Chains A and B, each alone.
Chain A
Amino acid sequence: MSKVVWKFRPGDYYRIGEHESWFSDMAREGLHLIKMGHVFARFIIGEPKNIHYRIDVSKNKDISLEQKYLYAEGGWDFVASYGDFNVYSSSDEIMAPELHTDPAEQAYSLQELHKKLIKNVWIVVVYTVLMLVILSTPLWLPNGTFTLSLIEGSSILLPLVISILYLLYESISGLISLRRLRQELIEGKPINHHAPWKRQQRIKTTIAIVYILLVGYVIVMPFIQIAISKTHILPEGKTDLPIIRLADVENNPELKRKDSEETDWEINIYTKKHSFLAPIQYQSHEYGVVSDKMWSDGSGTYSPSIHTWIFQTRSPVLSKSLVADLVKRYGLVYKGGEFIEIYHPDFDILIIHDIDDVIEIFTAKGKAVIHIKYYGDASIETLIKVTSDYVSDLTTTYEFIF
C-alpha cells in the first residue's frame, strides 16, 4: 500500500502561482498530489518527477466532458479539485502547451469568483459584527457583567470569538490575494508558476497552529475546569491556602468551628477553580461560634461567618473590571446601604458595603481580586487590615504576580 503524506497548504486558496509551484516542488521530492483539503493537501509517496501543475477556476463543481477531453488532448490531466478550483498536471516529458496563454482571458475567468468572494466577505463581516454585538451584550447592558461573564464562561465565548475572527481573516486575505492576482492578469502579467511559497507556508502554518492550539485549549478547558474544580472540607487551624480565615478576623481564642445543625453535609468548605482569564480561583465558606458570647442585639449565641472569593486574573486591567462586575452582581441583593470606594495605599481599588452586621469588601491589587462577605461584629478597619496583610502574604507565599 502506498504511503500517504499530509502537508499544510501554503497561503490561501487564491495564491494560485504559489500552489502550482509548491505542487511541482513536492513532485520533485517524490510527493505527488492526490487531494486538497481546506487546511492540508494529501500526497502519495512515489518516484521524484518533474511535473507541471496548473490550477483552473471552475464555475461548476463538475468538469464537463468537453473540457476534460480538450485538456487531456492538450496534455493536461485532472488531479484534484478544491473549493472553486481544479488542479491539472502534465509531465515534463510530454512538453504540453501552456494551459492558459492569455492573461486577459484568465482574468475574465476569475470575474465570477471575485464577485462571489466580495459577497462572502460581506456576509462574514455582517455575521462577525452581529456575533460580536450578541457576545458583548453584557458590556453595554446597564447591569451587564462582561468581565465576570468572560471569566466564568470563557470556555463558551472564546472558541466562538476565535473562530469568527479566523473566518474573517481567511475571507479578507483571500479576497486581497484574488484581487491582486486578477489585477496582474488584467495588466497582462501571466501567473508565476514558480512563485516562492515557503514564506507564505510558514505564516499560514503558524496561524493555523495557533488557531488549532487556541481552539484545542478552549475545548479541553471545560474538562480541566471539571478536574480542577473540586470542593474540599476547610481544614481547622492554619493552612497554606490563599484564603482569609475567620480566626484572623475574630481574633478570639474561644472561636470554635460551627457545623450545620440541619444537614449532614459539610458547610465549612473551599473550592478551587480555573479559567482562561482567571487561572487561579478560590472560593471559601467558613462558619464559627463563640459559645459564651451573644450577638449585640441578644438574638442568640454569637456565630460569625466569612465567605471569600479570590481570583488571580491575567492582567491588572481585568482585575479592576472584575471588581466593578462583582459589585454589580452581588450588590443586587441589597436594598439599603451604599457601596463606598475608599482610597487605601495597599490596594489599587477598595470598595466596601456595611449594613446590619454584614460587611462586604471588594478589592483588587495587581492581578489579584478579593471579595469578602463577613457576618459578625468585627469592624471594617479590622477587616481591611486583615485583607491588607493577606494581600502582602499573597505576593510572597503564593503564585500571585503583582
Chain B
Amino acid sequence: MGYDGGPMTEAMYYVLLALMNPNHGYQLMQAISDVSKGRLHMGPGTLYGVLSRMQKEGLIVLSKDDGRRKTYKITTEGEQALQIEYSRLRALVLDGIVLKEGDINE
C-alpha cells in the first residue's frame, strides 16, 4: 500500500526532512536529532521501520548500498509529500495563532 497523502507520523516527517541530504543508518538518527533541534531522538527500530515502509511507498530510494550500510535519499514524490505535510502543519499552527495572542493578553 502506497502513501495515501494523509497526515504523516512525526517519525515519517522528520526522516523525510533529514533525507533532504542523503544519509544512512546511525548518522541519520543524529541528523534527525539535529533537524529537530534535539527534541526528537529516534530509536533504531522506529527508524528502520520507517525507512522500509517509505522505500516501499516510493517516498525515498537507495542511493548507495554496500550491504550492511544503505544510503537513502528523498524522491520527487517524497519531496511533494513533505511539502504537502508542511503546508498542512503550517495551516494548523496558523489556525492556532489565537492561542499565542491569549498568551500575550495574560
Q: A: which residues have CB within 8 A of B? A: 54, 56, 65-71, 73-74, 76, 97-102, 104-106, 108-109
Residues of B within 8 A of A76 (CB): 44-45
B26 and A99 within 8 A (CB): no
Q: A102-B10, A105-B9, A105-B50 are in contact. Are A69 and B69 (CB under 8 A)?
A: yes
Q: How far is the CB of A65 from chain B (nearest CB, A)?
A: 4
Chain A nearest Cβ from B26, distance in angstroms: 4
Contact of A56 among B45, B47, B53 (CB under 8 A): B45
**Which secondary structure dominates chain B's binding surface?**
helix
**A66 and B68 within 8 A (CB):** yes
**A81 CB → nearest B CB, Å:** 15
* CB of B49 to closest CB in A, whole Å: 5
* B43 A99 Cβ-Cβ under 8 A: yes
Task: Indicate if B84 sits at the interface (CB-CB under 8 A).
Answer: no
Residue of A65, A67, A69, A101 touching B43 (CB-CB under 8 A): A101
- Given the contacts A66-B25, A73-B25, A99-B44, A106 and B49 also touching, CB distance less than 8 Å: yes
Q: Which residue of A lies closest to B12 (CB)?
A: A105
Considering only CB atoms, which chain B residue lies closest to A76 in the complex? B44
Residues of B close to A106: CB separation below 8 A: 45-46, 49
B42 contacts chain A at the CB level, 8 A cutoff: yes
* Listed A/B pairs (6) with beta-carbon separation below 8 Å: A66-B25, A66-B69, A69-B68, A70-B48, A71-B44, A102-B42
Near A by CB (< 8 A), chain B positions 27-54 give: 29, 40-50, 53
Q: Is the CB of A105 within 8 A of B46?
A: yes
Complex CA gap A54/B70 in Å reads 24
Residue B96 interfacial (CB < 8 Å): no
Chain B residues near A66 (CB-CB < 8 A)? 25, 48, 67-70
Q: Say yes or no: is B17 at the interface (Cβ < 8 Å to chain A).
A: no
Do the beta carbons of A74 and B29 come within 8 Å of each other? yes
Return the contact of A100 from the options B12, B46, B70 (Cβ within 8 A): B46
* B50 to chain A: closest residue by CB: A105
Closest to A65 in B: B68
A101 to B50 CA separation, bound complex (whole angstroms):
11
Chain B residues, CB < 8 A from A69? 25, 68-69
- A74→B26 contact, CB < 8 A: yes
User: Is B11 a contact partner of A67 (Cβ separation < 8 A)?
Assistant: no
Q: How far is the CA of A270 from the CA of B33 in the complex (A)?
A: 86
CB neighbours of B11 from chain A (8 A): 101-102, 104-105
Chain B 14-31 residues near chain A, CB threshold 8 A: 25-26, 29
Closest 3 CB pairs of A and B: A74-B44, A99-B45, A73-B26
CA distance A73 to B45 in the complex (A): 11
The answer to whether A108 and B69 have CB atoms under 8 Å apart is: no
**What is the chain B residue whose CB lies nearest that of A98?**
B43
Contacts of A98 in B (CB 8 A): 43
Flag if B44 contacts A97 (CB, 8 Å).
yes
Q: Would you give the shortest CB distance from A17 to chain B, in whole angstroms?
A: 15
Nearest chain B CB to A121 CB, angstrom units = 22
Contact A70 B47 (CB under 8 A): yes
Closest to B45 in A: A99
Other A-B contacts than A67-B48, A70-B44, 6 sampled, CB-CB below 8 A, are: A56-B45, A69-B69, A97-B29, A101-B11, A101-B42, A104-B10
Neighbour of B9 across the interface among A71, A74, A99, A104, CB < 8 A: A104
The CB with the most chain B CB atoms within 10 A, among A74, A102, A106, A109, is that of A102
- Which residues on the A side are within 8 Å of B50 (C-beta)? 102, 105
Chain A residue contacts of B42, Cβ below 8 A: 101-102
B67 and A65 within 8 A (CB):
yes
Which residues from chain A contact B26 at a C-beta distance below 8 Å? 70, 73-74
The residue among B9, B49, B50 with the most chain A CB atoms within 10 A of its own CB is B49
Determine the chain B residues whose CB is within 8 A of the CB of A101 once the complex forms.
Answer: 11, 40-43, 46
User: Which residue in chain A gives the minimum CB-CB distance to B44?
Assistant: A74
Task: Across the interface, name the chain A residue whose C-beta is closest to B47.
Answer: A70
Question: With A66-B25, A66-B70 as given contacts, are A108 and B43 in contact (CB-CB < 8 Å)?
Answer: no
Residue contact B49 to A105, C-beta cutoff 8 Å: yes
